Amino acid sequence: MPDRMQAEYLDVDRYRELYHTYEMDAVYVQYYGEISKKIKWIEDFLHMDTSSAEWRNMQTIGWRQALRIATEFPHMTVRLAAFAYSEYILELRKDASIKDLDLVYFEIWRLVIKDKRNYMDAVREVYGMDKFHIHKRVMEAELNSYPVFWTMKQRIYWITNEHGIDFNTEDNEARDLFRKGVARFKIKNMANYAKKKMEIGEWLNLQQVVNLQIEVPGPGRKHWSI
């Protein structure tokens, strides 16, 4: 879509290939919610080198736990369990990569708009702060004009334009809007895709497909009957 930062879903063509039934969608969403709660411990090890023996060991422990959880769900296959586990690790890594990114963008915006600083000077000042260590490499790329798909400046401009952030926006409101804007950078996965199809099924009154109650994980949890 025009003016979108990226695709809405991580790999929609692959998700279509994996489609089975509405019942399977419901089971997959519930399974993904369970591993998200029970294997959350692995996020403490995401800082490890992915090629290291230590990470491979943690990865194996997590995968074995995911397989044990899969045995509690009817119709869950090893293939789908592996797919869900892989996407869960990707989701954790994405969450880590955007943590406090909204605050980085806000600080740069505030220096440029409110303090009338030059953009690169503002990036340099935020880079020099004793925080945002996880985003140092991104700011280094910006300061050195390394080739990237989207520059920080383009992303900040997109958020301010999308949410109407300007000189008259109060700092607290701007912080909240930057938080919402950065959240849009997170591409949805197969669990999100399946939940969307379930919602569409409800809208189209397809409850006769299967009579199954599940709890959709995440904020504002709801029970779905399809």
Residue 41 has a CB neighbour count (10 Å cut-off) of 11
- Residues 152-169, mean pLDDT to the nearest whole number: 93
pLDDT at residue 225 tops 50: no
CA 12, CA 19: separation in Å to the nearest integer? 11
Burial 194-204, CB ≥16 within 10 A → b, else e:
bbebbeebeee
Say if residue 85 is in the same domain as residue 196: yes
CA 39, CA 224: separation in Å to the nearest integer? 24
Say if residue 129 is in the same domain as residue 84: no
> What pLDDT, on a 0 to 100 scale, did the predictor assign at position 220?
43
pLDDT at residue 10 tops 90: no
Say if residue 17 is in the same domain as residue 59: yes
Say if residue 199 is in the same domain as residue 212: yes
CA 119, CA 112: separation in Å to the nearest integer? 6
- Tokens encoding 65: 């736990």
DSSP annotation of 213: E
pLDDT tens-digit series, residues 93-139 = 988 888 899 999 999 999 999 999 999 999 999 999 988 888 998 99
More confident residue, 201 or 194: 194
Distance of CA 183 to the CA centre of its chain: 7
Which of 48-57, 121-130, 217-226 has the weakest average pLDDT? 217-226
Per the structure, the count of domains in the chain is 2
> How wide is the angle at C-alpha 92 spanned by C-alphas 89 and 98, nearest 5°?
140
pLDDT band at 217 (very low <50, low <70, confident <90, very high): very low
Q: What is the CA radius of gyration of the chain?
A: 21
Say if residue 94 is in the same domain as residue 201: yes
Contact in structure between 224 and 27 (CB atoms under 8 Å): no
Domain of residue 30, residue span: 12-98+186-225
Residue 131, SS3 per DSSP: coil
